């Protein structure tokens, strides 16, 4: 899987799905030569041209070779200060104040398996599943060493990269940037796809041509953010969901990141991905090292669905961990949109009782159970049950919930502190702050300084205490503001630029300690919905609350965008009340249920207020979901029609053993003179017959809750080729926000 051609000085990293080629030029410079479809052998048919380019300087040793310049050579990890004027992958200020460094190839080693990354979440593999290459580079003058780590997985079109730097000099240096990866494509014939958004509107898809110059998506908010996801794809312009070359980049990190592209004068494209250099610096004392987060690169020759399927399988098999990695996730009911802060034991018990009657499996008690938290002004940090609301405490409540036959879950926001809290009164120095400036607020709260060990220990103790005190099966771990005045009361003046990354290292350590201590608890991360939906958090917590927006129609876009990188089993998705609390929309119950079945299904409304007809519908949906759950949570997900291209969405799930296929179609607004919609399915066995075992036609707003309808199509059988190439007709119905579902069973 990783070959080194001694004579040609070429590394060929490959498996059946892709090849990646690095050359050591002149015994010292690392050049990027190829990434794409798997090659039998790389013999350099696309040799680099020797052109004397004006204003492209030669390194000192090649003064007389005017065609040799770092300015034009495709770099594998771009340097700084020796004639490559494009974006650098690293920047280091030496003790003498200069920032020029030069890392040259020194040695390499190829080995089985994949080492963990110190203090950071990362993909994992056994010795049989993966092979790694570590390239050592050195700057002899500066006394620094740089290690580039690559891992190829045998069964996945994934290449994983990271970088580590060690200071072996006698004096301290200041690291200003250390990208997880950079590489140069030979052309700019790509479009770029990224996921932008805001609170309640996460991971909208942006696709645009690559422009000359530098383009950047980034977060400097202290979290991977709602505003941009740590994901970027470069795709050939003709690529769509089903066909075309796609190159994906996803960062296993939950803090400030940047993903840059640069199209330069000769039409090549550099990509650089890593921790955001803005606001970052790191003092490296002699003997110290710094590890970058890991970037997961996917090549797909089969369009965006190909890329997403690779990410989904890879993250499920090599990133998620623990009991719930492959376990079916429970159907939950969360009291947030049902009660907000206004609840008591009786109310929660009533919700639990109704939930059990309806077939739900887990009750989650959200914000407001601790301190004196009757609104969002106080008590974060004081993780002690509010006896006024829950006089018998959490233990009794948990037992009551269990007695109804449900699991019991609890909300926390451990990284925060309210100014009105016992914790803040005792430890004002524990909040992030910068001397001389008043601290900005977000939701009346401050961010605890997780770069401090004492703060991390406090959080672990406080959360562990609660988790040990009551029968808790699930935790929702929230984070509801971004960082401002980023500084630490403990770090020295020279280390203040380390605060944000040290916070992430502290958080990862806290999460590791807590999740390892409670291996049976299902953890769901959250940050005002999907503000920290990233591969870093998924390493600790195998699902994320996708968005605070529970409107089914908005959710189609949010879940569609999220699915570019993350599998449905990682996305929390709930049915909420109508009119919806975020956008006021009225949607049929079936549409709300079918949209939520695109993720980990749950409910978030006052189920005690449902009418009998609604309760009947909810029961049916729950029964249906339980029956289809293995396919919906563990199966292969494919996007068919994009909500970003008009008012229609379609996606489908195929059971891991391919025996069952579930197809969903959603239509937003009814149109006059409607066009005819035929759905072309994907990924079927073209020679197999599929029986339409169940069909759910649209339900209009006010009647017919959730019934399975007798229809001409139920019971019919079609060959896979017909369903994929000719397609499945969508029956025309005049109504807004409608949804359909087909369950197909493969005949043997």
Residues forming contacts to ligand GLA in the complex (CB under 6 A) are: 336, 366-367, 411, 478, 480, 526, 528-529, 545, 548
Nearer to ligand GLA, 336 or 424 (CB): 336
Q: How far is the CB of 507 from ligand GLA (least distance, A)?
A: 17
Beta strands in 374-415 (DSSP E): 407-412
Q: How far is the CB of 122 from ligand GLA (least distance, A)?
A: 27
Rounded to whole angstroms, how far apart are CA atoms 618 and 709? Answer: 16
CA-to-CA dists, residue 532 to 194, 461, 676, angstroms: 16, 23, 39
Burial readout 204-218 (b: 16 or more C-beta within 10 A, e: otherwise): bbeeeebeeeebbbb
Nearer to ligand GLA, 526 or 650 (CB): 526
Task: Write out the H or E segment, with its range, that includes residue 290.
Answer: strand 289-291
CA-to-CA dists, residue 314 to 1, 19, 128, 426, 535, angstroms: 18, 18, 16, 45, 11
Nearer to ligand GLA, 271 or 338 (CB): 338
Q: Identify the active-site residue in 139, 548, 600, 736.
A: 548
Nearer to ligand GLA, 121 or 530 (CB): 530
Q: How far is the CB of 407 from ligand GLA (least distance, A)?
A: 18
Report which of 82, 108, 129, 91 is spatially closest to residue 4, judged by C-alpha positions.
Answer: 108
Nearer to ligand GLA, 12 or 199 (CB): 199
Q: How far is the CB of 120 from ligand GLA (least distance, A)?
A: 25
Rounded to whole angstroms, how far apart are CA atoms 638 and 490? Answer: 49
CA-to-CA dists, residue 65 to 8, 47, 56, 340, angstroms: 20, 17, 11, 71
CB atoms within 10 A of CB 80: 20
Rounded to whole angstroms, how far apart are CA atoms 361 and 445? Answer: 33
Q: How far is the CB of 521 from ligand GLA (least distance, A)?
A: 17
Instruction: Decide: residue 229, CB within 10 A, 0-12 exposed, 13-18 middle, 19+ buried.
Output: buried
Closest residue to ligand GLA in the complex (CB): 367
CA-to-CA dists, residue 154 to 21, 22, 133, 150, 159, angstroms: 16, 19, 14, 13, 10
Is 548 annotated as catalytic?
Answer: yes
Cα end-to-end span (Å), the chain:
37
Q: How far is the CB of 189 from ligand GLA (least distance, A)?
A: 40
Computed over its alpha carbons, how large is the radius of gyration of the chain? Answer: 27
Is 704 annotated as catalytic?
Answer: no
Nearer to ligand GLA, 282 or 370 (CB): 370
Q: How far is the CB of 544 from ligand GLA (least distance, A)?
A: 10
Nearer to ligand GLA, 22 or 511 (CB): 511
Q: Identify the active-site residue in 366, 473, 478, 551.
A: 478
Nearer to ligand GLA, 76 or 366 (CB): 366
Q: How far is the CB of 605 from ligand GLA (least distance, A)?
A: 13
Report which of 433, 424, 531, 554 is spatially closest to residue 478, judged by C-alpha positions.
Answer: 531
Q: Name the phi and psi angles at 28, rounded to 5.
A: -145, -25
Q: Which residues are catalytic?
A: 478, 548
């Amino acid at each position: 899987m990783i070959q080194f051609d001694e004579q040609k000085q070429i590394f060929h990293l490959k498996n059946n799905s892709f090849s990646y080629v690095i050359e050591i030029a002149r015994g010292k410079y690392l050049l990027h030569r190829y990434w794409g479809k798997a090659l039998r052998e790389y013999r350099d048919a696309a040799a680099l041209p020797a052109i004397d380019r004006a204003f492209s300087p030669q390194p000192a040793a090649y003064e007389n070779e005017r065609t040799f310049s770092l300015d034009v050579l495709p770099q594998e990890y771009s340097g700084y200060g020796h004639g490559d004027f494009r974006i650098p992958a690293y920047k280091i200020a030496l003790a003498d104040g200069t920032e020029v460094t030069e890392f040259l190839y020194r040695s390499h080693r190829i080995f089985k398996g994949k080492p963990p990354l110190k203090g950071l979440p990362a993909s994992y593999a056994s010795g049989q599943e993966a092979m790694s290459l570590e390239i050592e580079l050195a700057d002899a003058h500066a006394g620094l060493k740089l290690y580039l780590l690559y891992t190829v997985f045998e069964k996945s079109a994934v290449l994983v990269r990271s970088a580590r730097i060690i200071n072996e000099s006698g004096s301290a240096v200041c690291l200003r940037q250390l990208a997880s990866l950079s590489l140069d494509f030979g052309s700019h014939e790509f479009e770029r796809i990224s996921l932008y958004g805001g609170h309640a509107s996460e991971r909208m898809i942006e696709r645009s041509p690559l422009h000359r110059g530098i383009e950047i998506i980034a977060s400097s908010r202290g979290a991977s953010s709602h505003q941009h996801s740590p994901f970027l794809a470069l795709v050939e312009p003709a690529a769509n969901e089903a066909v075309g070359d796609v190159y994906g980049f996803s960062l296993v990190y939950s803090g400030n990141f940047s993903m840059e592209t640069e199209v330069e004068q000769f039409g090549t494209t550099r990509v650089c991905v890593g921790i955001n250099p803005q606001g970052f610096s790191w003092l490296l004392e002699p003997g110290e090292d710094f590890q970058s987060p890991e970037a997961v690169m996917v090549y797909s020759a089969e369009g965006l669905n190909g890329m997403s399927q690779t990410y989904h399988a890879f993250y499920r098999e090599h990133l998620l961990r623990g009991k719930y990695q492959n376990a079916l996730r429970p159907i939950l009911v969360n009291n947030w949109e049902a009660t907000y802060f206004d609840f008591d034991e009786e109310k929660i018990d009533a919700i639990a009782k109704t939930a059990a009657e309806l077939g739900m499996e887990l009750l989650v008690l959200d914000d407001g159970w601790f301190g004196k938290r009757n609104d969002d002004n106080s008590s974060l940090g004081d993780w002690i049950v509010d006896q006024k609301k829950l006089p018998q405490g959490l233990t009794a409540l948990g037992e009551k919930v269990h007695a109804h036959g449900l699991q019991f879950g609890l909300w926390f926001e451990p990284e925060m502190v309210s100014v009105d809290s016992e914790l803040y009164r005792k430890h004002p120095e524990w909040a992030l702050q910068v001397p001389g400036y008043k601290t900005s607020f977000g939701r009346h709260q401050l961010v605890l300084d997780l770069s401090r060990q004492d703060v991390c220990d406090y959080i672990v103790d406080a959360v562990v205490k609660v988790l040990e005190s009551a029968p808790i099966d699930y935790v929702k771990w929230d984070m509801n503001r971004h960082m401002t005045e980023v500084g630490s009361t403990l770090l020295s003046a020279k280390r203040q630029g380390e605060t944000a990354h040290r916070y992430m290292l502290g958080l990862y350590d806290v999460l590791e300690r807590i999740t390892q201590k409670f291996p049976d608890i299902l953890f769901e991360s959250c940050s005002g919905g999907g503000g920290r939906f990233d591969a870093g958090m998924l390493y600790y917590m195998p699902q994320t609350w996708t968005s605070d927006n529970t409107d089914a129609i908005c959710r189609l876009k949010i879940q569609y965008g999220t699915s570019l990188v993350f599998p449905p089993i990682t996305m929390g998705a709930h049915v909420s009340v109508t009119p919806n609390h975020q956008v006021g929309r009225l949607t049929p119950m079936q549409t709300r249920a079918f949209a939520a079945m695109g993720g980990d299904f749950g409910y978030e409304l006052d189920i005690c207020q449902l009418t009998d007809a609604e309760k009947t519908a909810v029961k049916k949906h729950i029964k249906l979901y339980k029956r289809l759950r293995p396919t919906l949570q563990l199966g292969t997900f494919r996007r068919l029609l994009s909500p970003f291209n008009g008012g229609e969405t379609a996606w489908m799930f195929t059971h891991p053993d391919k025996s069952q296929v579930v197809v969903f179609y959603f239509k937003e607004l009814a149109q006059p003179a409607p066009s005819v919609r035929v759905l072309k399915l994907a990924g079927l066995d073209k020679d197999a017959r599929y029986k339409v075992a169940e069909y759910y036609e649209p339900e209009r707003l006010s009647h017919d809750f959730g019934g399975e309808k007798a229809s001409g199509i139920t019971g019919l059988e079609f060959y896979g080729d017909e369903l994929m190439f000719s397609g499945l007709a969508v029956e025309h119905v005049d109504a807004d926000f409608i949804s359909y579902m087909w369950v197909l069973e493969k005949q043997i």
